[in-house]
Structure 1
Amino acid sequence: MSKRGRPRKANAKRTPSGQISRAASAYAENEDPIRIRMQHLGLTEKEARDQKAASVHGIMKLRKKIDDQQYDAGEAALVVRDAYLRAIRAPDSLAATSGSSSTDLDDETYAERCNRARSKYADMQRAIHDAQAVHRHTNLWAALDLMLYRNEYYEHMEGDFSTVLRVLSVHFGLTKNRKSGPLAHELILS
Structure 2
Amino acid sequence: MNNIPELIADGEITPIEAAQQLALVTSMLRQLKDSESVLRGYLTDHLDPKEHLTTALGVVSYKRGGEAKWRVKDPVAFGQWLARNGEESSVEEVLYPVEFITKPDAIEKLVRDHGGEQPDGVELSGGRADSVATSKVKAWSEVMADLTAQRQAGALLGIEQPPVGDIVEADGMGDMPVVEDNEGEDFSWDKI
TM-score (norm 2): 0.23
Name the structure with the higher strand share. 2
Name the structure with the higher helix share. 1
TM-score (norm 1): 0.23
Structure showing greater radius of gyration is 2
